[in-house]
Structure 1
């Protein structure tokens, strides 16, 4: 404070100014500021609390849903192994022995602790009763007889027309359970009837037999119907007549679910309770206690769970839904907290107090206000997730540099970045993992650029860099792009996962490629598109040819629309042969485009364009309908295979389209084979599984196409109902000079046989390859050795297919 200020204050005190000024008028600005500040602090805290509540709920529900999907996939794995055991009974030419049953059961469920017991329940009529009892005694089951369960004790079963006794089992031979007639227990008998009449897996919650009485109910009894080999099961009457028995598995739910969650690294931040299925007539349903609880504390009733934040779902076991309730773990990272709201309230009140004091002292107000305005401007130009500058800041800085360039400033370059395979991370691990990955990407990008460069996040998985002040701008920008591509290609550590992605980069240099914002951004985007088309995880500098290519691409897109509307597309057919007999078993439908001026356009020049523009949907429907119509005129032993694009799988009416094509053409569904690539299985797994099961229910066969080229996973073969595996031609090309290719194909054939699937080898071009494939056990072969794809009018349906291994597609 200066001398003049001190003198002024002395004069005011001397004149009695402080004594005469009204107190209310003196403190009114401070009181008003305090009241308004408190009001805004409370409002801000409430808004932040609502935001925190919404963010926490979204993150919690995403994590809970992921855990539920993991549990369901694990349960499906167990049930698929029971179905494999049914295949053993339905495919065997001779009766399965007790030792074979026990050996196969032990192998199927090795390292699967949730499976408590597996049993075989044959269908025994009144006349066969004595014969089965004698056979069991002769097989080492001393005193075996068919028994009924009366309370907690067994008694000899009364005479009945039909029994379903425990005949084979993984129980010790001394167990009294042998001979127990499941038909004598009402709830188990009802589950067997459902399984038989619907030809599906049925389940029931059950208490296991305990001679001491009591026992917990947290067991799921799963029944799989087994029918006589080669018999019909089209109608309920057929299924009742041809039933030979049941494969029954008893799941220990707590042990099974704990094993699934333990092996898949379930989130500790979510506590999961699994409750019994809802049953009509149960009183006090809200008080139901769980069959399984992941929390170490005492289990909670459904009423207790409903009082707090929770997520509801289902765990499907056969045809019965167990209830799943998830809650944030006490003390976990997802527990509802309002730290930010409290911080906002405290900060708001402190600021209000400070503002009141400043008003009272009448000092430094303008400076504080200037700092606050500057902070607001920074927040408006900052990306909240990564802390990087946002699109608004980037565009403003780009305009500044363009203006400086016109006045003789430095040249600069723009690098547009787009993350490769980021969507896969979001879809498979959730948006929380995607956000964490974006923050890690931002940190690596910061380490790659200079302090003078501008690094911004434009939105989603898009980033941009402005690099200026380099003597050789092109060389510097390409060096920076190469360094970034290498950094991003290194694995990212996420909780429980190691994620590998890449980045595609497009580069535009000013003023060579433009002197305004619109031109530079457009050309950088064109270069980025070229990088993605070139295989991703690379960088490209814009050149004038890209604009010409874009114009040509737009022209080709218009021509393709016209071609679909004017039916200029053709369907050619390539046969696939039975490797054992050499007989032709069917044809794969392949689309060709005969352009009126450019002639026959190869598929690799328009299929990708059709998928990008959505034209693949009408194009695919045309191919499907034409293939079904053509195949309807072929001999009844020939099939037709049609490939579906991943884009088509996103159409809600795809099943209706396939049904309509079959109905309009008159083709039997059993003669249609739908080929699906592995990329389809990476997204919308639950919806796609339901769709594939609907196709199977009407008789359509399913083939996994190009196996081994993408994200090949054995889980696809057990989780999805495929009939056939198609080995990609890249393995066939290396077959005669790389032993590893033979080993891989042999392994695939062995795996397919175990899962009751057939195998087709694509791209067979030489007799040596064909003979080698036959020796490895491949069921079918397809390639130029037999025929190139031909129009329908050039196919000789009555004779063998002809072709040359040198023919072009």
Structure 2
């Protein structure tokens, strides 16, 4: 109460003095104006100070968010390069050598600082341990041993069921990390298992077990699971069974972030720091980014950050969320210094000028805010590599076009593009060349479009175009597609290389082919698929027949599943004869499908479908079991030949399936002949060779089917344990009128005789062909001349027909 009474008395004293002084009364208007002006100045300065604080906060948050997006995109680029290494292991048919790994890794990460090393961790079981150790020593890694970490030292790993050692690495071959078993380190083992079971990329912090600076903070270890090519990974059990190993990358996170920010022109006004998951410990980039942050002012914990102006976000590394904290850099443009408020006080009495200054500053800063917001939006909807709009922008624009279609009735076209032979460029010249090619393709596509059309990169080598309303929408779309196909077919000049590719294009037109996003995209994809099937480097406009064909294919697939489940398939047998004696030596088992409504469906209409859908596995097992069961009742001198699909060779239980079919039927293994096509030999060569040796060991004969087509290579005959070569029927058909066919068959017979193999000629239909093959020295013959495929109950097993009788027929 005392202070309040004292203030009242002071105010009364000032008022009395004001009224009593005549001088003050003279200047009273000026003083009043000065007082009012001062009050307005102070009020305006306070308002401007608050506004400056708010504007700087928004500017800072936008700048910080932009930096976070750039860092996340950069991290995504690094992770995608690790995934490219996984693709290398999962797509190749041969074992990746150490030099290939080092070359590919170096190409992927050259000019990408922040990646300390890349390593390959194969899955090594107990029996393979010595083999891997010897192989590494042979490759030049002296004293290579699989070892575990015990304390801070390495020691030979104890015996276990499996290991995940560092086998290939970008480190020098003298590095002590070679052979370190990641599974021997608990936290790394947990991360590997998490990656394997979830088929995902995992990341953990970890220290390196080699000399580094004592002040270095732990690095980030990223693990990418690799599975055996062509194997299933649908369930956890599948992924555990088919795991081949891991691609592991070790990042120097501060250096990596420095590289990303320098490359993208990071704002020096924002200091960015990163916290590991679930801790308050900071991974400061101050020592790595001297231009962007001061080590003296860098916060040391999240509590320090929370006490001042800051922005928080997430940096996703693998399956872990790292915390991003940004603060204004000391002395930067985003630090609030209230200079505008001081200016308002200086010009306080000139309210008009103050207001003009305020409005000018407001306009300028509003524009800055607008530009910052626009930049954030552009980053979210732009493809970083090509600068084109990305999938998100394309889908949003497509939704808008559909809305305009329903209101204004304006038609438009969608063109889906997929580059032909682009993978060859990536595989042969590297991802850097592939990226350069994509940028050139984007420029050519843009040159073919109008300003109102939309071009977007959907991902990989896929592009999409929205062509807005034209007078003749269909004609304009096909004209544009033809122009694009011609442009892309012209050679591209890359550094040191001249590259030629093409593009397949699918076209859908709204509203003719639909009026919603899902319909149009689906139909454009169907048209694109048709273009690829038609030979590539062409375009196709969607037609209702495509949907009908897709529906028919789906119906046929469902019927085939039912036929396999209900055992409605049939096995027919075609004989093959001994050329020397004329007697039958056995039969080839051929599957037939008698559809309840469509009748007999030729194999060429459902075998390919069965292989695409994986139904070939149960179908092949059915044929194998039925053939063995039928052949067991035949005379003991007759064999049965069964074809195996390349898809079946990828099944881990195929050998057990064959043994079970023999055991259940009682057929001796020596009477079973397995026919293998050359395409099987192109993949998993080591595994398939071992599998074929196991078949040979139990007495099964092996035949190389359709020899002379596809990728025929003489190396197959010496590398794989075949007993027989089956010459493709395309050579037999031209035998009587093309001398070159006779020369080829003669060479095959001579080669087979030298390798102690027999030769079977397929597709023999005339006596003239048979006589010519006999003269050329083939051992067996098969074709309509000796019998068509027929059910087992229509085959008679009497004494072998004499050659003279057959010739008379």
TM-score range, shorter chain: 0.5 to 0.7
Per-residue deviation, residues 12-37 of structure 1 (Å, max 9, x unmatched): 99998699979998996699789979
Q: Give distance in 2, aligned partners of 1:408 and 1:30.
A: 41
Q: Taking structure 1 as reference, are residues 532 and 622 closer, same or farther at Cα in structure 2, changes over 3 Å only?
A: farther
Q: Is residue 52–residue 340 contact of structure 1 (8 Å, CA) maintained in 2?
A: no
1:570 shift after superposition = 0.5
When residues 636 and 427 of structure 1 are mapped into structure 2, their CA distance, relative to the original with a 3 A threshold, is farther
The reply to whether residue 347 of structure 1 matches residue 266 of structure 2 is yes
Q: Does the Cα contact within 8 Å between 2:571 and 2:623 map onto a contact in 1?
A: yes
Partner of 2:174: 300
Aligned to 1:676: 676
**From 95, 111, 130, the counterpart of 1:69:** 95
Which residue is equivalent to 1:518? Answer: 518
The whole-number CA distance in structure 1 between the counterparts of 2:531 and 2:415 is 12
Cross-structure match for 1:290: none
Matched ranges for 1:31-46 at <5 A: none
1:645-684 matches, within 5 Å, as 645-684=645-684
Determine helix, strand or coil for the equivalent of 2:268: helix
**1:426, 1:802 → 2: CA distance?**
60
Instruction: Note the C-alpha offset of 1:669.
Output: 2.6
Contact 1:646 1:677 in 2 (8 A): yes
Task: Verify: 1:597 aligned to 2:623, yes or no.
Answer: no
Q: Secondary structure at the match of 1:667?
A: coil
- In 2, the alpha carbon distance for the partners of 1:705 and 1:497 equals 39
Q: 1:616 corresponds to which residue?
A: 616
- Distance 1:663-1:713 versus aligned 2 partners, 3 A rule: same
Written as runs of structure 1 = structure 2, the 5 A alignment for 1:775-790 is 775-790=775-790
Secondary structure of the residue aligned to 1:512 is: coil
Structure 1 contact 575–801 (Cα < 8 Å) conserved: no
Q: C-alpha separation between the residues in 2 aligned to 1:499 and 1:801?
A: 61
The gaps in structure 2 that reach 5 residues or longer are 1-35, 101-126, 148-152, 157-166, 181-208, 211-220, 226-244, 250-254, 271-327, 341-360, 804-809
Contact 2:632 2:666 in 1 (8 A): yes
- What do the CA deviations read for 1:666-712 (whole angstroms, capped 9, x no partner)? 22233323333334444445544444444344333333333343344
Residue 541 of structure 1 pairs with residue 541 of structure 2: yes
Matching residue of 1:372: 372
Moved more, 541-550 or 710-719: 710-719
Q: Structure 1 residues 482, 347: closer, same or farther in 2, change over 3 A?
A: same
CA distance in 2, matches of 1:727, 1:703: 10
Look up the SS of the partner of 1:300 in the other structure: coil
Contact map agreement 1:675 1:703 (CA 8 A) in 2: yes
Query: How far apart are residue 279 of structure 1 and its match?
Result: 9.9
CA contact (8 A) 1:37 1:348 kept: no
Q: Residue by residue, what CA displacement relative to the aligned partner does 1:472-528 show, whole Å, maximum 9, x if unpaired?
A: 433443444455556767898999999987655433333333333333333334434
Matches within 5 A, 1:481-520: 481-482=481-482, 504-520=504-520
Change (3 A) 1:749 1:34: same
Corresponding residue SS for 1:507: strand
Residue 640 of structure 1 and its aligned partner are, at CA, apart by: 2.0
Partners of 2:69 and 2:379 within 8 A in 1:
no
For residues 721 and 456 of structure 1, the distance between their equivalents in structure 2, rounded to whole angstroms, comes to 52
Cα distance change, pair 582–459 in 1 and its aligned pair in 2 (3 A): farther
In structure 1, the residue corresponding to 2:519 is in which secondary structure?
helix
The structure-2 alpha-carbon separation of the partners of 1:686 and 1:384, relative to structure 1 and needing over 3 Å to count, comes to farther
Q: CA deviation at 1:622?
A: 1.0
SS in 2 for 1:69: coil
Aligned counterpart, 2:415: 415
Q: Distance in 1 between matches of 2:383 and 2:555?
A: 38
Q: Which residue of 2 aligns with 1:156?
A: none
User: CA separation in 1, counterparts of 2:264 and 2:476?
Assistant: 48
The residue that corresponds to 1:707 in the other structure is 707
**What TM-score do the two structures reach when normalised by structure 1?**
0.58
Q: Deviations over 1:357-388 (max 9, x none)?
A: 79866563322232233233333333455544
After superposition, the Cα gap between the structure-2 partners of 1:275 and 1:705, relative to the gap in structure 1 and judged at 3 Å, is farther
**CA distance in structure 1 between the aligned counterparts of 2:499 and 2:683, rounded to whole angstroms:** 17
Separation in structure 1 between the aligned mates of residue 489 and residue 747 of structure 2, nearest angstrom: 31
In structure 1, distance between residues paired with 2:410 and 2:703: 58
Q: Residue in 2 aligned with 1:629?
A: 629
Equivalent residue of 2:95, what SS?
helix
Give the structure with higher Rg (CA). Answer: 2
Relative distance call for 1:441 and 1:699 in structure 2 (3 A) is farther
Which has the larger displacement, 642-651 or 751-760?
751-760
Cα distance, 1:285–1:496 mapped onto 2, change above 3 Å: farther
Q: Residue by residue, what CA displacement relative to the aligned partner does 1:405-450 show, whole Å, maximum 9, x if unpaired?
A: 4455654333334566778998999989987876676566556655
The answer for the alignment partner of 1:454 in structure 2 is 454
TM-aligned CA distance change 1:521 to 1:286, over 3 Å: same
Q: 1:571 touches 1:590 (CA, 8 Å); kept in 2?
A: yes
CA spacing shift, 1:298–1:435, aligned 2, 3 Å: closer
Please give the per-residue CA displacement for 1:80-104, whole angstroms capped at 9, x wherever unaligned: xxxxxxxxxxxxxxxxxxxxxxxxx
Answering whether residue 606 of structure 2 is matched by residue 606 of structure 1, we say yes
Deviates more, 1:703-712 or 1:17-26: 17-26
Q: Contact 1:585/1:639 (CA < 8 Å) preserved in 2?
A: yes
- Measured against aligned partners, the alpha-carbon deviations of 1:625-669 in whole angstroms (never above 9, x if no partner) come to 111111222233332222223333343333332222122112223
Q: 1:279 to 1:445 in 2, by over 3 A?
A: closer
- Tell me the distance in 2 between the aligned counterparts of 1:525 and 1:795: 49
* Whole-Å separation in 1 of the counterparts to 2:723 and 2:436: 39
C-alpha change, 1:303 and 1:796, in structure 2 (3 Å) is: same
Q: 1:497 to 1:764 in 2, by over 3 A?
A: farther
Number of equivalences: 591
Q: Root-mean-square deviation (CA), in Å?
A: 5.6
Q: Supply the distance in 2 between the matched residues of 1:681 and 1:612 (Cα, whole angstroms).
A: 19
| Structure 1 residues 454 and 34, CA gap change in structure 2 (3 angstroms) | closer
Verify the 8 A CA contact 1:732 1:764 in the aligned structure 2: yes
Q: Deviations over 1:306-350 (max 9, x none)?
A: 65799999xxxxxxxxxx99999xxxxxxx966643427961434
Shift of the alpha carbon at 1:572?
A: 0.7
- Per-residue deviation, 1:300: 1.7
Q: CA 1:734–1:433 in structure 2 vs 1: closer, same or farther (change >3 Å)? A: farther
682 and 558 in structure 1: CA distance in 2 versus 1, 3 angstrom threshold: same
The 2-side partners of 1:685 and 1:695 are apart by: 15
* Aligned-partner Cα distance in 2 for 1:645–1:34: 63
Structure-2 residue corresponding to 1:643: 643
User: Counterpart of 1:781 in 2: which secondary structure?
Assistant: strand
